[in-house]
Amino acid sequence: MSHRNVSEISWSGWGDPEHKTALSPELLSLVQGALQIKHPGKTAPALEALTLSPSALPDAGLESLRSAVGNEHVLLDDEARIRHLRGKSTPDLLKLRSGDTTDSPDAVVVPGSNDEVAAVLAVCAEQRVAVVPFGGGTSVVGGLTPERGAFAGVIALDLTRLDQLVSLDTVSRTATLEPGLRGPEAEALLAAQGYTLGHFPQSFEYATIGGFAAARSSGQASAGYGRFDERVVGLRIATPSGTVSLATAPKSAAGPDLRQLFLGSEGAFGVITAVTVEVSPTPAVKLYEGWRFPSFDEGQAALRTLIQDGPVPTVLRLSDEMESALNLARPDSIGGEGATGGCLSIVGYEGTAENVDARQAAASEVLRALGGVPEPEAGPAWEAGRYSAPYLRDALLDAGALVETLETTTFWSGIPALYEAVREALVEALGAQGTPPLVLCHVSHVYRSGASLYFTVACAQSDNPLAQWQKAKTAANDAILAAGGSITHHHGIGVDHKAWYEQQIGEVGIAALRAVKRELDPGGIMNPGVLL
């Protein structure tokens, strides 16, 4: 349905269907033995074999939507509806593999401007139709699974047509971008004028500018460029109560910063229709290398020293012993040769040649002094495969493994306890179901005061893998809060984290956000059940 020459994301898995990964016989045998897999997993049926309920949209609402955006931009066909069904979490994919289409939208509406978004919201408010803003469809926390409730219908509001670089201010080094731009498209538009966002999450190839903002995304080069929300200096949001424009200045003392209210709001308050973000000159040099440390604790100490005292690399991440042993930092060579014990850190530098040389030399002195041993070839291997892991997840599901990720964050002093608590919770919850797991972890993002932990979990699928994972996820979420961590660092709240988010910010905090939603979205049509 895209009007651009870009590949559509797979409807039943991750990424470009042409890049679908198959496990080698050797790796398949290794996985089956390590996880005690007894049977393969279900694979997705053919798209045309899936059945959908007829669209529930009232005729009056349908005609009004066509008037708002044009007849050709209101899609009712089964394929369009299936392609806008849920996100890309493992539970989302397991439901599709079982043929479950119960959450499919009644229509896909594709507006082409802020005014058209506003018109769609007006129609939906009048007709009691729920609206799910849809960017790249890469949510892994149920962010595209609204509560249908008593609404007359549900539409997916696809922002594909809002795909422009609106302006570039080379003096202030800011760019205003529309929300439907995918990561690579935004980078190409900026690169043509010598700039970069520097924002490269694992979902980069398919996630969008609007999604980056709505979910408080964090990219793999966050040590150097910062999180996406830290770079946002302006927003325009269409809400059922009207349009909000927030782009006066980068910083201000004019009351609370309302930009922070919409960043991370996941479509619950309105639709982000423009984002003004700080940009950086395209780096002349990119250099990535590996450093191996004797233990996870020693590696963390090295990362903390660099981020607190400098020099600060652009990329800074660290795998624990198990993840390092399996080469998960090199997704294209998992299970292969090269792991020599200890913990592998990926350290990267981007900038001018002079700047990169100086930072690398100074950082290398620090890393060596703290027990690091250089492993130069690991950096390019990580770079080559850094977007590959989700493809591997799909192949492991086919093989009968249950594979999922979760992440959290806390202050440096709390990292050791948080790491142990989450690992123990996952091992106990899955072991009790007769499916002992492998639990891998890496430090994915670092800050002066803390860091995030990103866990990958793999075990054999039970007869009911959805229920199996839900028990493990619940145990892990409980452990995160009990250990003083945040329920999420960059994946967002969606539906999956909602109950724990309420615990984290408390009754008064939730009441305040609900008051905001009532004001901006009186009918509650915006992504109902997500976030709040």
Instruction: Classify domain 165-280 at the CATH topology level.
Output: 3.30.465
Q: What is the CATH number of domain 389-493?
A: 3.30.300.330
Q: Cβ distance 236 to 245 under 8 Å?
A: yes
pLDDT tens for each residue of 234-250: 999 999 999 999 988 99
More confident residue, 3 or 78: 78
Instruction: Classify domain 285-385 at the CATH topology level.
Output: Alpha-Beta Plaits (3.30.70)
- The answer for residues whose C-beta is within 8 angstroms of residue 70's C-beta and 6 or more apart is none
β-bridge pairing 107-109 and 153-158: parallel
More confident residue, 389 or 472: 472
Residue 3 pLDDT grade (very low, low, confident, very high; cuts 50, 70, 90): very low
> DSSP class of residue 5?
S
Helices and strands (H and E) in the chain: how many = 18, 18
- Which among 197, 203, 206 is positioned nearest to 227, based on CA atoms? 197
**135-161 mean pLDDT:** 96
- Give the per-residue pLDDT at 334: 55
* CA distance to 4, 119, 134, 217, 242, per residue, from 115 (Å): 22, 6, 17, 26, 10
Strand partners, 402: 459
pLDDT tens for each residue of 189-219: 999 999 999 999 999 999 999 999 999 999 9
Q: For tokens 């191996």, name the residue.
A: 292
**Whether the predicted pLDDT of 60 surpasses 80:** yes
- Strand residues in 4-152 grouped as ranges (E): 74-75, 107-109, 129-134
Ranges of CATH 3.30.465.10 domains, the chain: 165-280
- Give the per-residue pLDDT at 332: 54
User: Is the dihedral angle over the CA atoms 7, 13, 14, 17 positive or is it negative?
Assistant: negative
pLDDT tens for each residue of 306-350: 999 999 999 999 999 999 998 765 555 555 555 568 999 999 999
Long-range pairs for 95-98 at CB < 8 Å and ≥24 separation? 95/466, 96/11, 96/12, 96/44, 97/12, 97/41, 97/42, 97/43, 97/44, 97/45, 97/397, 98/42
Ranges of CATH 3.30.300.330 domains, the chain: 389-493
For the ranges 2-11, 149-158, 348-357, 381-390, the lowest mean pLDDT is seen at 2-11
β-bridge pairing 242-246 and 232-239: antiparallel
- Give the per-residue pLDDT at 8: 85
- Give the per-residue pLDDT at 339: 53
